[in-house]
Amino acid sequence: MNQVIYRYRFRPQISFRCVERWLSLAIVAAAGLHGEAAVEMDACYSFDKKRRACVVDAHGGVGRDIARILTSFLRHGLKANAFDVEAIDLPGDPAQEISA
């Protein structure tokens, strides 16, 4: 069964520290919706500072909501065209792909 991840790529002028803060806020917001335990157990993400990318695993409701909230925060908080986001279908377990 295919799983979905969302990959965000950021332009060089965007501070990666800012991106990390937006993701942290998205995780807090998702905890408000799903509960802290659900976020702790189901949220999965990865940063690659060299590639200026962030990946959010959206295999469940928690991950989908984190991706949606993060996208909204980024769209409202950053300049136009400061980032791209794409959905990627992965075969099997996305957690293995993210950590590889």
Query: Which CATH number is 21's domain given?
Result: 3.30.70
CB 82, CB 2: distance < 8 Å: no
Domains identified in the chain, total number: 1
In this structure, is the dihedral angle defined by the CA atoms of residues 27, 3, 51 and 79, taken in order, positive or negative? negative
- Give the residue numbers spanning the domain of 81: 2-99
CB 6, CB 58: distance < 8 Å: yes
pLDDT for position 100: 46
pLDDT at residue 99 greater than cutoff 80:
no
In single-letter form, the type of residue at position 85 comes to: V
With cut-offs at 50, 70 and 90, classify the pLDDT of residue 79.
Answer: confident
pLDDT at residue 59 greater than cutoff 90:
no
With cut-offs at 50, 70 and 90, classify the pLDDT of residue 98.
Answer: low
Q: pLDDT: is 41 or 1 the higher one?
A: 41
pTM summary value: 0.85
